Structure 1
Amino acid sequence: MSSMTRFEYLTVPLIIHATKQILDNYGSDGWELVQVVPGPNPENLVAYMKRPLTDS
Structure 2
Amino acid sequence: MKKFEYSTVPLLVHATKEILDSWGQDGWELVQVVPGLNPENLVAYLKREIPQS
Structure 2 match to 1:8: 5
Question: How many corresponding residue pairs?
Answer: 53
Structure 2 match to 1:45: 42
> Counterpart of 1:26 in 2: which secondary structure?
helix
Give structure 1 regions of 4+ aligned residues with deviation exceeding 4 angstroms.
none
Alignment RMSD: 0.9
TM-aligned CA deviation for residue 12 of structure 1: 0.1
Structure 1 match to 2:21: 24
